[in-house]
C-alpha cells in the first residue's frame, strides 16, 4: 500500500505530457496544479487532464495520474476520456453543420427526420416537438437514463427505433417546459444521422473530428482508431466497463487536447490554414438563442449559458456520472477556453476550471474572491404547506408502459401524504406529494413490474394539472446486472373517479 501511494504521489507531481506556449512563461498555473494534486489524492481519483488556452495559444496542457492504474498507464494530453453529456455539444454542432448545408430545418418536426419509429403522445401534438426543441430540452420528452453500462447479454440496450417506440412519448406540451433529457439528445442524434444519410459516428469523424484535428476522438469506444480510453472508476463500485453503445447524448470519447480544439472553434478562434466547419453566425445561434431553465443558468443549443459568472458571460459544456467528470468552459469575450477531464465523478473539477480562468482574468479572480468571502445566507425556514384542495382526494388512471397498461389508484391527503395502488403488484405504496413549478410531483415506493423495473425502487410522477385530470410523465428505477440504476419514463394520466 505504501509503495502504491508513493508511486501515485510521484506521478501526480510529475510534468507528464506538459505543453506550454512561449506566451505562458509568466503564468505557471502552480496554484491550479496544486489544487488538482490535492483533489486527486483526497478523492482517490485515478487521473485527470487539463488544457487552458487564450486566443490561438494553448497556454497549458498536462495529464495527471493514471488512465489505467492496474496496467500503470499514465494520463497524457492525448488520452481519450468518456465525455458523458459533453457529447451533447458535439451532437449539437453536427446539427448546426447540417442546418448550414440546408439539409435540416431547426423548426420542422423531429419526426420529419426520423425513420419508422416516431415520437408520439396520447394528449399533445408530437409535430410540435421540433428539432430546435429537442436541442434545447423543450420537446416535451422527460428525464431518462437506462443506467446500463453497455450492451451485453446481462444488460441489453435497445435499438434506437425500439428506444423511441418504448419511451419516445411527449408527456408535456412542447415548448412549455425545460426538462434536461438524455433521451431527447439520443433521438436528436438519430435526426442528424437521417438528415446526413450516414451513421452519426461516421459523420462526426468526417465533419468534426478530422477537420479540427481531433485525432483521438470517437463516438463510442473504437480502439482501432485511438488509444484505449481512460478506465472509468465509480466511487463505490470501482473499475467498471466502458459503455458500448454509441448514443448522441453521452457516449463520446475525446482527449483533453482534442476537446480544446473543439472549444477553440466555439470561441471563434481560427488558426491560420484551419478549415472552418461552422460559421460564426451559427456559433452565435448556439450560444445566444437561449431558453430559460428555471434556474439562474439558461440553455442554448447544446450549451449551458451563465450570463454573469464573476463578471463575464460564460458558456459551458459539462458531463458527469459516478465515473466521469468533464468540463469545457469558454469565456467568449476573452476567447478563454478551459477543459478538464477526469475518469471519476469528482466535484473539485469545477473549482479547477474556475482557478485556471482566474489565473488569466484578474476581474474574474477578484469577483470570485469577493463571492467566496461573502457569507452564504441561510434559506428561510418555511412552514409546512398544505396541498390545494384540487389535488386532495382520490384519483384513478393508468400508466402506459412497454409491457402494457398498468391501472392505478391514488389517495392524496392535504398534508402531502399519499398512497398509490398498482394493478401490477398487490399492496399499497406510500409516498409524498407536492406542487411546485407548475407540476404536481409525487414519489412513491413501488414497482410497475415492467421488463426492466426494480422491486422496491422509487417511482416519480411529474403531472400537469387540469380540470379534474392530471397527466404527464412517470419515471421508475430500473434494474441492471451491474448494480447501476437508471430511469425509464412513461405516460401517465389520472382522473377524478366518477
- The domain that holds 423 is classified in CATH as 2.40.128.30
> Is position 388 within any domain?
no
85 plus 213 within the same structural domain = yes
Count CB neighbours of 120 within 10 A. 15
311 plus 429 within the same structural domain = no
- What does the buried/exposed string (b/e) look like for 370-391 if buried means 16 or more CB atoms within 10 Å of the residue's CB? eeeeeeeeeeeeeeeeebeeeb
pLDDT at 1: 40
312, 327, 342 — which closes off a domain?
Answer: 342
pLDDT at 302: 98
Report pTM: 0.89
pLDDT at 379: 65
pLDDT at 487: 66
pLDDT at 334: 98
299, 317, 342 — which closes off a domain?
Answer: 342
111 plus 191 within the same structural domain = yes
Domain count, the chain: 2
Give Cα 161 to chain centroid, integer Å: 21
pLDDT at 156: 56
What 8-state DSSP symbol labels residue 103?
A: S
pLDDT at 3: 43
> Is position 213 within any domain?
yes
Q: DSSP for 288-350?
A: HS-B--SSS-EE-SS-EEEEEETTEEEEEEEEEETTEEEEEEEEGGGTEEEEEEESB--TTHH
238 plus 330 within the same structural domain = yes
158 and 150 Cβ atoms separated by less than 8 Å: no
> Is position 431 within any domain?
yes
Taking only the tens of pLDDT, the chain with its 498 residues reads 444 444 444 454 444 545 554 444 578 899 999 999 999 999 999 999 999 999 999 999 999 999 999 999 999 999 999 999 999 999 999 999 999 999 999 999 999 999 999 999 999 999 999 999 999 999 999 876 655 544 444 455 678 898 899 889 999 999 999 999 999 999 999 999 999 999 999 999 999 999 999 999 999 988 887 888 999 998 877 888 887 778 888 899 999 999 999 999 999 998 777 778 999 999 999 999 999 998 889 999 999 999 999 999 999 999 998 899 999 999 999 999 999 999 999 999 999 999 999 999 999 999 999 998 887 666 666 666 788 899 999 999 999 987 789 999 999 999 999 999 988 677 788 999 999 888 999 998 877 877 666 566 778 899 999 999 999 999 876 544 333 345 678 999 999 998
What sign results for the dihedral spanned by CA atoms 42, 47, 48, 49?
Answer: positive
332 plus 411 within the same structural domain = no
338 plus 407 within the same structural domain = no
| Spatial separation of the C-alpha atoms in residues 452 and 310, rounded to whole Å | 45
275 plus 399 within the same structural domain = no
278 plus 219 within the same structural domain = yes
342, 359, 374 — which closes off a domain?
Answer: 342
> Is position 68 within any domain?
no
> Is position 269 within any domain?
yes
- The domain that holds 160 is classified in CATH as 3.40.710.10
Look up residue 365 and give its three cell numbers: 479572480
Count CB neighbours of 333 within 10 A. 11
Count CB neighbours of 222 within 10 A. 15
For residue 478, the enclosing domain spans 393-495
> Is position 437 within any domain?
yes
- What does the buried/exposed string (b/e) look like for 285-318 if buried means 16 or more CB atoms within 10 Å of the residue's CB? bbbebbbebeeeebbbbbbbbbeebbebbbbbbb
> Is position 20 within any domain?
no
> Is position 359 within any domain?
no
274 plus 410 within the same structural domain = no
436 plus 298 within the same structural domain = no
109 plus 232 within the same structural domain = yes
| Spatial separation of the C-alpha atoms in residues 450 and 437, rounded to whole Å | 29
458 plus 324 within the same structural domain = no
pLDDT at 401: 85
Amino acid at each position: 500500500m505504501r509503495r502504491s501511494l508513493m508511486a501515485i504521489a510521484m506521478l501526480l507531481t510529475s510534468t507528464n505530457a506538459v505543453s506550454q506556449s512561449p506566451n505562458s512563461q509568466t503564468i505557471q498555473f502552480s496554484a491550479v496544479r496544486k489544487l488538482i494534486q490535492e483533489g486527486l489524492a483526497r478523492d482517490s481519483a485515478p487521473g485527470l487532464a487539463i488544457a487552458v488556452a487564450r486566443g490561438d495559444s494553448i497556454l497549458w496542457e498536462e495529464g495527471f495520474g493514471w488512465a489505467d492504474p492496474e496496467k500503470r498507464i499514465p494520463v497524457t494530453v492525448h488520452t481519450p476520456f468518456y465525455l458523458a453529456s459533453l457529447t451533447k455539444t458535439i451532437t449539437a454542432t453536427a446539427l448546426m453543420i447540417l442546418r448550414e448545408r440546408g439539409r435540416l430545418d431547426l423548426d420542422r418536426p423531429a419526426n420529419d427526420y426520423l425513420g419508422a419509429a416516431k415520437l408520439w403522445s396520447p394528449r399533445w401534438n408530437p409535430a410540435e416537438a421540433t428539432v430546435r426543441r429537442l436541442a434545447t430540452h423543450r420537446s416535451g420528452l422527460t428525464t431518462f437514463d437506462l443506467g446500463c453500462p453497455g450492451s451485453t447479454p446481462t444488460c441489453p440496450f435497445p435499438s434506437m427505433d425500439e428506444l423511441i417506440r418504448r419511451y419516445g412519448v411527449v408527456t408535456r406540451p412542447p415548448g412549455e417546459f425545460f426538462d434536461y433529457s438524455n433521451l431527447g439528445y439520443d433521438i436528436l442524434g438519430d435526426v442528424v444521422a437521417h438528415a446526413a444519410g450516414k451513421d452519426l459516428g461516421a459523420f462526426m469523424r468526417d465533419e468534426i473530428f478530422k477537420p479540427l484535428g481531433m485525432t483521438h476522438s470517437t463516438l463510442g469506444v473504437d480502439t482501432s482508431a485511438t488509444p484505449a480510453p481512460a478506465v472509468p472508476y465509480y466511487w463505490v463500485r470501482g473499475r467498471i466497463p466502458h459503455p458500448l453503445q454509441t448514443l448522441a447524448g453521452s457516449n463520446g470519447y475525446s482527449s483533453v487536447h482534442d476537446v480544446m480544439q473543439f472549444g477553440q472553434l466555439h470561441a471563434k478562434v481560427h488558426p491560420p490554414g484551419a478549415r472552418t466547419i461552422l460559421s460564426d453566425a451559427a456559433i452565435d445561434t448556439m450560444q445566444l438563442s437561449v431558453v430559460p431553465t428555471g434556474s439562474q443558468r439558461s440553455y442554448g443549443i447544446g450549451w449551458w449559458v451563465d450570463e454573469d459568472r464573476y463578471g463575464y458571460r460564460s458558456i459551458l459544456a459539462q458531463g458527469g456520472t459516478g465515473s466521469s467528470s468533464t468540463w469545457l468552459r469558454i469565456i467568449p469575450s476573452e476567447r478563454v477556453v478551459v477543459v478538464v477531464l477526469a475518469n471519476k465523478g469528482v466535484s473539485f473539477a469545477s473549482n479547477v476550471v474556475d482557478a485556471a480562468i482566474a489565473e488569466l482574468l484578474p476581474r474574474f479572480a477578484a469577483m470570485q474572491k469577493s463571492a467566496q468571502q461573502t457569507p452564504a445566507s441561510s434559506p428561510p425556514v418555511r412552514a409546512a404547506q398544505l396541498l390545494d384542495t384540487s389535488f386532495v382526494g382520490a384519483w384513478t388512471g393508468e400508466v402506459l408502459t412497454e409491457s402494457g397498461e398498468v391501472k392505478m389508484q391514488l389517495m392524496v391527503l392535504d398534508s402531502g401524504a399519499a398512497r398509490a395502488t398498482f394493478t401490477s403488484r398487490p399492496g399499497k405504496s406510500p409516498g409524498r406529494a407536492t406542487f411546485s413549478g407548475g407540476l404536481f410531483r409525487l414519489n412513491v415506493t413501488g414497482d410497475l413490474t415492467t421488463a426492466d423495473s426494480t422491486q422496491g425502487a422509487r417511482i416519480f410522477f411529474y403531472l400537469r394539472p387540469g380540470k379534474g385530470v392530471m397527466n404527464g410523465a412517470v419515471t421508475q428505477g430500473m434494474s441492471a446486472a451491474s448494480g447501476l440504476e437508471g430511469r425509464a419514463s412513461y405516460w401517465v394520466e389520472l382522473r377524478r373517479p366518477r
